[in-house]
Amino acid sequence: MLRKMLASIFMLAFMIGLFSAPSLAYDHAVVKEGTDARFNNPLYADKEVLNYLLWTVDEKLENDVIALQQTFQLSDDQMEQLRNWGLKERQLIQAELTSFQFEETQNVDLFNSIASRVFQERNTALKELFGEQYPLFEEWIAVWWQNEIEYRNKWLHSRASIQADKDKIVGIFATQYLPNTSGAYEVALPDKYVKFANLGWKNDIPSHLRSTYGNPPYTVNIYNPDTNKSVRNVKVDDVGPWNTDDNYWDSKNGNNPRRKFTDLSLGSPQAYEAYTNGHNGGKDQSGRKVLNPAGIDLTPNVAADLGLKLYQNAWVDVRYESLP
């Protein structure tokens, strides 16, 4: 018993020391007492925390992963198990949804219940993986999460270079999706009318907005600062990955006013604010729990041209100059 206690004390001290290391690019912080527990620890807030941490191409997050492995002295095989669960966080939910009819998949309660069940399964697997060290892993994740939110908010603010209706927004979290047409070269943004315009679905656009969205095709340019690679003139042929009326690149008083979430800053996707800062109770406009902070979704071919491997996420810069 004494040996276990000493080992736990050593592990906790080692963890705090790593979080204090300057190489991690942020200061150690503790979970603030009185803060909403749903956002203190993403393990219990239905978030793709392993996917975000382990599958995002980002220097800070990659250093965090190294710290995680060193802190708990995890083997490469154990790290691979964590990475696999990072993929399963997203894929298991999608796999369950495909077993339902399309109309059923639009049911918010169904989506949220499937997400909760998958994350419970993940946490059970993590308890088995970490064994008696699981409480320390919980604390590691809670502290890391608070630091990541604080760091990321400051990082995004420092990189912000936009004004009302400017065409470039930096620091948009990008995920990947499989398009309806295999091999398609496209992206998804949270504005359904851009998609409708590009696909020629004019009648699905409200009459008072048809002139605004009347000059397709609408495309974006994307730059990945981590790989120094870019793509140009990529069509927006889908909507999402979360909201459908969050044209966050438009100001609330601009030529094409932001339709939803006008309380948020220009250039800040509501999905990011929901995921990291609990905006709208951590849910999108339909009431789904926002599981990741994506403001743009890339098909694998687009992601590959940006230097990303299949399923990797990234913080990218996007030019929206051709959009309404």
Encode pLDDT of 286-298 as tens digits: 999 999 999 999 9
Helix axes 2-20, 59-72, angle to 10 degrees: 160
pTM for this prediction: 0.88
pLDDT cut 90: percent of the chain above it: 78
> What is the spatial distance between Cα 215 and Cα 172, in angstroms, rounded to a whole number?
25
Q: Which pLDDT score, from 0 to 100, does residue 31 have?
A: 38
Instruction: Give the pLDDT band of residue 58 (cuts 50, 70, 90).
Output: very high
Instruction: Give the pLDDT band of residue 102 (cuts 50, 70, 90).
Output: low
Q: Which pLDDT score, from 0 to 100, does residue 97 have?
A: 86
**DSSP-assigned letter for residue 191:** B
Q: Which pLDDT score, from 0 to 100, does residue 166 have?
A: 56
Given a cut of 80, whether residue 90 has pLDDT beyond it is yes
Mean pLDDT calculated for residue range 281-286: 96
Average pLDDT for the chain: 88
Domains delineated in the chain: 2-155 (no CATH), 163-319 (2.40.40.10)
Mean pLDDT calculated for residue range 238-259: 95
- Tell me, rounded to whole angstroms, the distance of Cα 171 from its chain centroid: 11
193-200: long-range contacts (C-beta < 8 A, 24 or more apart)? 193/324, 194/218, 194/236, 194/239, 194/247, 194/323, 194/324, 195/236, 195/237, 195/238, 195/239, 198/235, 198/236, 198/237, 199/237
Amino acid, single-letter form, for residue 123:
N
Q: Which pLDDT score, from 0 to 100, does residue 34 have?
A: 40
Q: Which pLDDT score, from 0 to 100, does residue 164 have?
A: 40
Given a cut of 60, whether residue 27 has pLDDT beyond it is no
Mean pLDDT calculated for residue range 175-192: 96
Q: CA geometry: angle at 236 spanning 220 and 188, to 5°?
A: 105
